[in-house]
A and B are shown apart, each in its own frame.
Chain A
Amino acid sequence: MAVLRKDPVSSRWVIINVDNPKKPEDFEKEEHVFKKGPCPFCYGNEFMTPPEIDAFRHEGTYPNTPGWLVRTVSNKFPALQIEGDLERRGEGIYDMSNGIGAHEIIIETPYHDKTITDLTDEEAASVINMYCRRSIDLQKDKRFKYILIFKNYGAAAGASLEHSHSQLIALPMIPKNVLEELAGSRKYFEYRGRCIFCDIARQEIQEEERVLIETNHFVSFCPFVSRFPFEIQILPKEHSCHFHEIKEKEMLELAKILKETLLRLKVALSDHSYNFIIHTSPFDRESHDYYHWHIEIMPRLTRVAGFEWGTGFYLVPTPPEAAIKYLKEAKI
Chain B
Amino acid sequence: MPDISDMTFEKAYAELAHIIEQMESGDLPLEKSVETYERGRLLATHCEILLEQAELRISTLDAPGDG
Answer whether A and B are interacting partners. no
